[in-house]
Amino acid sequence: MKTLVLVGHPEIENSTTQQFLKAAAQPLSDVKWTAISEPIEVETQQALLKQADRIIFEFPLYWYSAPAILKLWEDRVLTNHFVVEEKALVQKEFGLVVNFSQKESAFVAGGGEEFTLSEILRPYQALAHKAQMKYLPIFSIPQFAYLTDEKRQRLLVDYQVYLSAPAKPSFDQKTDWLLNRLEASDFPANSQLVFDEIKNRQAELEDLKFQVSEIKAGELDE
Amino acid sequence: MKTLVLVGHPEIENSTTQQFLKAAAQPLSDVKWTAISEPIEVETQQALLKQADRIIFEFPLYWYSAPAILKLWEDRVLTNHFVVEEKALVQKEFGLVVNFSQKESAFVAGGGEEFTLSEILRPYQALAHKAQMKYLPIFSIPQFAYLTDEKRQRLLVDYQVYLSAPAKPSFDQKTDWLLNRLEASDFPANSQLVFDEIKNRQAELEDLKFQVSEIKAGELDE
């Protein structure tokens, strides 16, 4: 599965969040991580979109949507012909990676921002609907600057899963994917701990599943 | 009351809708109708905003939000300092004039666009909330190209009301405002018909109100 990440940020080089995510995406061979910049070459961009199975818009939330550069990309590249007549994006997956300075809890009715992220990002969901793409759950990154090293490590893994694991994975699919990646050792060396932790948890999970199936079998015998 | 209209359109000169609206706004002395263009001068724009009592974003719907030029204006002019710290927009009214090629009826769950305009334009409502502005009902213009002359005439009046009449006007306020404007004769000559129609309806309304009050008075006597 091929993933295309389109990053909309006016100063990517100065964004610690985007530099972190760029580094996190780098080991993933099926992920193309690109920063949108002018001039926008419509045909090149459309060709990239066609090759992708999963398309990700990645951006900081500026006034409740993407920075202008990403909107410019949409206005130019997503022609009516390409999206509606040619149906070039049908059945592709479409995800959003959005970072912001507020706490996640601000995005509720009565909270500091009054509306949920799902509501605020509705224009992208409407685009997915129009293009007949499968809209993925939003990947939100609140207050990146305050994350501890441990939380950054978890973010890195979750982000990699979002870019390249099956959409809406089950716990099993997620752990399988992670174990494969870890064993392929395209992860940083210090992730041995994560590796062990996951293996332990998976063993535990399989134990529990066995117990549940035993109980059920018992019930059927009665 | 002063109104500032900020138009976001990449080719205003070629837009019949925007040229129509520009002409409709022209006779209104308290309305400043401006097309956003680069370079965006932040201090000039902030000064214009401060002078306004009502701020209008006017744009065609491109992928469920404003064209990139208006987003660029937002990203540059609406600094956190200006909006949140200085609270420069508090208590101002904030409206949207949005035109699109779809039928209005497409914007419902199960319709062609799946979401309502109120949902799709949530990012602007979130901005109004953050800036403590009063969010006005959206002024939508579906399928301008197909409007008959009569409907265009009605649109012209409704648009003028949206720009310069009291917000959420009662029927009385709306007719008073219209009669004043018409008597000041800053309307096109062919609007005599509209004028007569409104006068007739107002007389009718006053009749009905009188009858209702008589009935109520009778009830109290019993």
pLDDT tens column, B114-153: 999 999 999 999 999 999 999 999 999 999 999 999 999 9
Q: Which residue among B65, B68, B130 places its CB closest to the CB of A72?
A: B68
Rounded mean pLDDT of B97-113? 97
More confident residue, B189 or B102: B102
Alpha helix positions (H), A78-148: 80, 117-120, 122-131
Contact B64 A129 (CB under 8 A): no
Amino acid letter, B64:
Y
Contact B67 A78 (CB under 8 A): no
Rounded mean pLDDT of B81-101? 98
- Which residues in chain A have their CB less than 8 angstroms from residue B120's CB? 122-123, 126
Sort residue A92 into left (φ over 0), alpha (ψ -120 to 50) or beta: beta
Taking chain A (222 residues) in runs of 10, the rounded mean pLDDT of each run is 97 96 95 98 98 98 98 98 98 98 97 97 98 98 96 94 86 78 61 64 70 70 56
Q: Provide the b/e sequence for B5-15 (b: ≥16 CB within 10 Å).
A: bbbbbbebeeb
Q: Identify the pLDDT of residue A172.
A: 78
B182 within 8 A of B195, measured Cβ to Cβ: yes
Q: Which residue among A10, A114, A125 places its CB closest to the CB of B126?
A: A114
pLDDT tens column, B23-50: 999 999 999 999 999 999 999 999 999 9
pLDDT level of residue B196 (50, 70, 90 thresholds): low
A contact residues 67-126, partner B, Cβ 8 Å cutoff: 67-69, 71-72, 74-75, 78, 113-115, 119-120, 122-126
Q: Identify the pLDDT of residue A198.
A: 67
Tell me the percentage of chain B whose pLDDT exceeds 90: 73
* Nearest-angstrom CA–CA distance, B136 and B18: 20
Determine the 3-state secondary structure of A36 from DSSP.
Answer: coil
| B115: closest chain A residue by CA | A126
Q: Identify the pLDDT of residue B53.
A: 98
DSSP letter string, A132-156: T-EEPPPEEEE-GGG--HHHHHHHH
pTM: 0.85
